Amino acid sequence: MKRQNKYSFSELSEFHEHNLFLPTRTIYFGGKNNEEDSDVVTSYTVAELIRNLHILEQREIAPISILLNTCGGSWEDGIGVYDIIKSLHSPVTIIGIGKVYSMGSIIIQAGERRVLTKNTFMLIHDGSEGYYGHSKDFETWAKFSEKTRKIMYKIYYQRMKKTRKNITLKEIEELCSHDTIYSSEQAVIMGLADDIIGELK
């Protein structure tokens, strides 16, 4: 039996080309036209995400969904889109699919609702860094890294404390001192996500 599709081919093509499906106000981040590294948080992938968010926000103030599948990437680009999502008037639900690693685990915290598919995994850590230049440059970038880590811990803390009331920044720092990987169920228990698809409250 052929399934009836209520959306036109042009509407579906728009989603395929731009990762934006206007009828349902859904944005997909993580894989486009088989492009390599399209699931990485970069200035290019984040620019497209921000552009799509602004298109939806300008059309109307209404719920937006982001389907997020990413191995992580640039701190500066990721925190930029985090700030944009937080500044929107439209409520944003971010749905983690498959993997929400590293910077992705920060971006999802910007969502009013944070949802994971049942077999999604989330990774938190301090990330990796590389410096070059003179010794004073090393000192500058080391101080910058310390500052960004504190911002990261605070973002996790603000969401996690609602579920784990006794969690401390020190505990979060320890969790991030190495790769810590959570199943979807564990992420919800830790306060890093709200619900699992199929088990919504």
62-96 pLDDT per residue, tens:
999 999 999 999 999 999 999 999 999 999 999 99
Is residue 156 in a domain?
Answer: yes
Give me the CATH number covering residue 183: 3.90.226.10
d(C-alpha 105, C-alpha 110), whole Å: 10
Q: What letter represents residue 60's amino acid?
A: E
Threshold 0.85, pTM exceeds: yes
Domain count, the chain: 1
Per-residue tokens: 24: 């349902």
Q: Note the pLDDT of residue 81.
A: 96
Per-residue tokens: 84: 């944009």
131-176 pLDDT per residue, tens:
566 767 767 777 888 899 999 999 999 999 999 999 999 999 999 9
Is residue 191 in a domain?
Answer: yes
Domain that holds residue 149: 9-196
If you average pLDDT over every residue of the chain, what do you get?
88
Is residue 1 in a domain?
Answer: no
The residue behind tokens 């206007």 is 22
Question: What mean pLDDT comes out for the span 98-120?
Answer: 97
Is residue 35 in a domain?
Answer: yes
Rg, Å, the chain Cα set: 18
Local structure of 61: helix, strand or coil: coil
Is residue 96 in a domain?
Answer: yes
